[in-house]
Amino acid sequence: MAATLTSTGPARPRKLLASRRIRAGILYALPVIVYLLVLFVYPIFSTLFLSLKNADGSLTLHWYADALTGVNLSVLFTTLRISAETALFSLVFGFVLANAISRLKPLLAGLAMLIVVVPHFISALVRTYGWIILLGDKGLVNQGMADRWFPGAPYQLLYNEIGVVIGTTSVMLPYTVLLLYGVMRGVDRRLLAAAASMGAGRVTIFRRVYLPLVAPGLASAGLLSFILSLGYYITPALMGGPNQTMIASLINQQVMKQNQWNGAAAEGVILLLLTFAGLLLVKLVSSMGASAKKRSAS
Amino acid sequence: MMELRSTLAGRIVLTAVATVILLFLALPIVVIVVTSFGSNAFGSFPPEVWTLNWYRVLFADGSKWPAALSLSVLVAALSTAFSLIIGVTAATALTRSELPLRSAVYALVLGPLLIPQIVTALGLFLLFEPASMLGSPLAIALGHTVLASPIAVLILVATLRGIDERLEDAAASMGAGRLTIARRITFPLAAPGMIAAAIFSFITSFDEFYISQFLSSVDTVTLPVQIYNSLTFDIDPSVTAISAILIAFAILALALVALVRWFGSGRQNSLLSVETATGIATPGGETV
């Protein structure tokens, strides 16, 4: 009795207010939802349907079989290989750089972060062009350094995998540095001090305390640069040779040069699936990291 | 003693390696700017003869650069306008109202940032080609907005979350209507975030390559596509000059964002300081 009395009183206007807030929410969210449904979700699904259709409209897996044989299969392997090499180098460079920056005084650290962030906002095309100038036969690297200190210069640093990995790594590096810097700043220095007070040497502290704490961050940073490299082709197309063709480049060629939309769609779906697998791994690693942190805290 | 020395040596090695990696990031950019003032765009470094020739060539008769530049500016301006409309409404829905399936909407917004841009570009091609809209600035701008609007939404959600809602409640309690609150309280406080969102949307669209390449036609080519074509088909030395201009533009835009943030940070504090001064907003504080 008392309960019904109290609930009929103030509940109704509150409910009214809540429903108004829900209606306002839906109304305000409408532009972004409609926009992305029409220009993002629908195009992705039409890509998926196209990859499964024959010229006469019947269903087929032909385009996937085509994507996974011969030259197309080797493009897939090249993409995985270059992405893995890029991820490895940007992870190692990113780890060293983020670690060094996290030890700097605020002003110097800010300055160093500026050198990391500013290139990130300069078109990858422009930065790739910078590498083409740098790594050419008469470029700064060959003339300025190799010629002086190493015999046998000029070295072929362009239009092969060396050039591609150098260029792509410099494009992916800002992502890993930013991610790892955040992770390293989050490490509780008192844990390191505690280990030292118990007599652990610096190598032991690094291996047994620091590394396990940053490991999930390292894994996600590596996976992120791997995923980003999978769909990338600006630098490989400009700095590589025919053996460095990547999936994204193949999609472009199939649409622009061969008018082969179905094949391009199948390649796109394969790329999408690889990306989803990578993202799933990132999620798994970060949830593992969170549970590890909880365990060490308890 | 031994421990101390090894730490110092380790620190020197680490600093040296870190400096080399920083050079690795900065060198390609420095080299372009320097080369753009040299006589031989692919020749020796540093240049033997300094010249402004490549900048003159950019705007000479018959140059493709002015058309590409103006198309990119037009597309980026349109895309910025679309992104702001979408960003402001979506951020309002996500922070100032009750939205069913909020996490699903969030996932939808983040989608374009997570999946490969080439796949988005292919999908947009399949959408616009049958509509024979390839080469249309509107189509390219609509495509760029798919990538730019999620960034605008994220920035504006963070901006609106950072605004103390008590300021809006206080205005409402004094009888201000919703429009007045939006105009007099929320908008001025959100302005720095909106400017930042606009600048990042503009940069995103201006630098975008994959969607532009799929949606452009022979006569309508955006600046990044023109740069790509110049680097692959006809090695055109004036590309150093346009690249150097883009570098200057990016640095300027980032400086602008930093400046706006710096000015904006003082604003809410000055509004809040009224109540901190009177002691209302210090729960647990001495002065009431």
Q: How confident is the model at residue A38 (pLDDT cuts 50, 70, 90)?
A: very high
A42-to-A33, A248, B139 alpha-carbon distances in Å: 12, 20, 15
Tokens representing B7 are 């730490």
Question: Do A129 and A263 touch, CB atoms closer than 8 A?
Answer: no
* Residues 6+ positions from A250 with CB-CB distance below 8 Å: A72, A75, A264, A267
- Class of residue A291 by CB neighbours under 10 A (exposed 0-12, middle 13-18, buried 19+): exposed
Q: Which helix (H) or strand (E) holds B161?
A: helix B137-162
Instruction: Say if residues A59 and A53 touch (Cβ distance below 8 Å).
Output: yes
- Write down the pLDDT at residue A14: 65
B93: closest CA among A10, A37, A16, A34?
A34
Q: Do you find a cis peptide bond into A236, omega within 30 degrees of 0?
A: no
Residues of A in contact with B196 (CB under 8 A): none
For residue A3, give Cα distances in angstroms to A53, A173, A247, A285. Answer: 62, 62, 65, 48
Asked whether the beta carbons of A87 and A222 are under 8 A apart, the reply is: yes
Measure the CA–CA gap between B280 and B288, rounded to whole angstroms: 6
Do A235 and A167 contact (CB within 8 A), yes or no? Answer: yes
Q: Given B18, B28, B42, which is nearest A127 (Cβ)?
A: B28
**How large is the average pLDDT for residues A133-152?**
79
Q: Which two tokens stand for residue A146?
A: 């190799």
Kindly state whether B265 is in contact with chain A, defined as any CB-CB distance less than 8 angstroms: no
Q: What is the pLDDT of residue A5?
A: 45
The whole-number pLDDT of residue A81 equals: 97
Radius of gyration of chain B measured on its C-alpha atoms: 25
CB-based contacts of B267, cutoff 8 Å, min separation 6: B188, B189, B192
Cα angle A118, A119, A123 (rounded to 5 degrees) comes to 120
B31, B96, B227 member nearest A134 (Cβ): B31
Which residues pair with residue A53 across a beta bridge? Answer: A59
Task: For residue range A2-35, list pLDDT tens digits in order.
Answer: 444 444 445 556 677 778 888 989 999 999 999 9
Prediction pTM value: 0.90
Query: Which residues of chain B register pLDDT less than 70?
Result: 1-6, 41-45, 234-235, 266-288
B159 CB neighbour count, 10 Å cutoff: 23
Task: Note whether B69 contacts A: Cβ–Cβ < 8 A.
Answer: no
**CA dist list (Å): A62 to A54, A256, B65, B94, B122:** 8, 21, 43, 43, 19
The two structure tokens encoding residue A84 = 């893995």
The predicted-structure confidence for B11-21, as pLDDT tens digits, reads as follows: 899 999 999 99
**Could you give the CA distance from residue A212 to residue A193 in angstroms, rounded to a whole number?**
16
Q: What is the pLDDT of residue A296?
A: 65
Instruction: List, for residues A174-188, the tens digit of each pLDDT value.
Output: 999 999 999 998 888
- The distance of Cα A201 from the centroid of its chain, to the nearest Å, equals 35
Cβ contact (<8 Å) for A117 and B92?
Answer: no
B172 touches chain A (CB under 8 A): no
Q: Which residue out of A97, A165, A273, A283 would a mutagenesis test of the B interface target, given it has the greatest number of B Cβ atoms within 10 Å?
A: A97
**Cβ contacts of B126 on chain A, cutoff 8 Å:** 43, 46-47, 50, 261, 265
Please check the confidence at residue A170 and state whether its pLDDT lies above 60: yes
Query: Which pLDDT does position B272 carry in this prediction?
Result: 59
pLDDT at B77: 98
DSSP character at residue B233 = T
State residue B11's pLDDT score.
Answer: 85
Beta carbons of B238 and B226 less than 8 angstroms apart: no
Averaged pLDDT of chain B: 87
Closest by CA to A27, choosing from B140, B202, B193, B178, is: B178
pLDDT tens digits, one per residue of B103-124: 999 999 999 999 999 999 999 9
Q: How far apart are CA A97 and CA A118, in angstroms?
A: 16
Produce one character per residue of B23-50: b if its CB has 16 or more CB atoms within 10 Å, e if not. ebbbbbbebbbbbbbbeebbbebebeee
Rounded to a whole number, what is the distance in Å from the CA of A255 to chain B's nearest CA?
8
**Which positions ≥6 away from B73 have C-beta within 8 Å?**
B206
What is the DSSP track for A6-75? HHHHHHHHHHHHHHHHHHHHHHHHHHHHHHHIIIIIHHHHHHHHHHTB-TTS-B-SHHHHHHTSHHHHHH
